[in-house]
């Protein structure tokens, strides 16, 4: 499932969760539903999630802890859903990295408006967690702020599509990407080209960054699924 319009709802209240999911699906989103924190963390290892609605009062791991863990791995927008109304609770959630905070009960229209507002102001286009990545003791260095890639200290020129593909890999360094997911990241959700086009871009990237493109260590093929970033990131 491509990730551009994937929303994850984490809430142990079944009626609330299903009502929100039904409303968002009518707005054109694909919705994942889980009822506890561990399920949320497990799902985010498998799927590209583009927005999280996170209840604070979960039965296993607190919403605050889940938010903190997500923020260590992803910039995905997060709105916290909770019955807590104390200002300190709200500030704590925002300090942990949540983008917004809405108290229960709330109207579905209000929630949807808040989602749209967060999405407009958030940089959700696969921006990496940090501005600089270094692999294998500096063999490969990417500086997103400067739009610069160095291979053994030499500047390597990348196309805009190649930059977007690398941004996807570095935002989710543990994830195996399908071709469809990389197409969504590199082009847009409406791209209708043949899915093997992504293989051509991966092949071109390998020529630029791998010592041996036929035996890649940075852009690895996971047979039957897609691609995953390899090497040791510092």
Would you state the pLDDT for residue 157? 85
Which residues pair with residue 226 across a beta bridge? 178, 222
Tell me, yes or no, whether 110 and 199 share the same domain. no
Measured CA to CA in angstroms, residue 144 lies from 113, 131, 139, 230, 234 at distances of 31, 5, 16, 18, 15
CB 167 within 8 A of CB 144: yes
Provide the pairing of β-strand 51-55 with 6-10. Answer: parallel
Q: Which tokens is 33 given? A: 């539903």
Tell me, yes or no, whether 185 and 205 share the same domain. yes
Would you state the pLDDT for residue 216? 93
Would you state the pLDDT for residue 195? 62
Would you state the pLDDT for residue 27? 92
Rounded Cα distance, 25 and 15, in Å = 15
- Is 30 among the domain residues? yes
Which residue from 53, 41, 74, 44 is spatially nearest to 7, judged by alpha carbons?
53
Positions of the chain with pLDDT lower than 50, given as ranges: 1-3, 123-124, 189-190, 192
Domain count across the chain: 2
The residue segments making up the domain with residue 11 are 6-121
Domain boundary among 121, 155, 182: 121
Write out pLDDT tens, residues 24-56: 999 989 999 999 999 999 998 888 788 999 998
Tell me, yes or no, whether 79 and 140 share the same domain. no
Domain boundary among 121, 151, 178: 121
Q: What is the dihedral of CA 167, 79, 110, 11, to 10 degrees?
A: 120
Q: Which tokens is 201 given? A: 């871009």
CB 41 within 8 A of CB 8: no
CATH assignment at residue 52:
3.40.50.2300
Domain boundary among 54, 86, 121: 121
CB 56 within 8 A of CB 81: yes
What's the start-to-end Cα distance of the chain, in Å? Answer: 30
Tell me, yes or no, whether 11 and 115 share the same domain. yes
């Amino acid at each position: 499932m491509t990730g551009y319009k994937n929303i994850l709802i984490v809430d142990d209240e079944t009626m609330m969760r299903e009502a929100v999911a039904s409303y968002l699906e009518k707005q054109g989103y694909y919705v994942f539903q889980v009822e506890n924190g561990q399920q949320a963390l497990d799902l985010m290892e498998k799927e590209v999630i583009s927005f999280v609605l996170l209840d604070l009062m979960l039965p296993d791991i607190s919403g605050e802890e889940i938010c903190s863990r997500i923020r260590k791995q992803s910039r995905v927008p997060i709105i916290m859903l909770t019955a807590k109304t104390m200002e300190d609770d709200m500030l704590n959630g925002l300090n942990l990295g949540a983008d917004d905070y809405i108290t229960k009960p709330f109207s579905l229209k209000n929630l949807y408006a808040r989602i749209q507002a967060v999405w407009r102001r958030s940089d959700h286009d696969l921006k990496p967690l940090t501005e600089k990545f270094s692999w294998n003791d500096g063999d490969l260095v990417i500086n997103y702020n400067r739009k610069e890639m160095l291979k053994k200290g030499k500047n390597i020129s990348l196309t805009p599509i190649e930059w977007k593909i690398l941004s996807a890999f570095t935002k989710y360094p543990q994830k195996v990407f399908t071709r469809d997911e990389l197409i969504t990241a590199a082009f847009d959700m409406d791209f209708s080209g043949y899915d093997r086009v992504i293989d051509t871009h991966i092949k071109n990237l390998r020529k630029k960054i791998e010592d041996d493109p036929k035996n890649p260590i940075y852009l690895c093929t996971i047979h039957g699924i897609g691609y995953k970033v390899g090497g040791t990131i510092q």
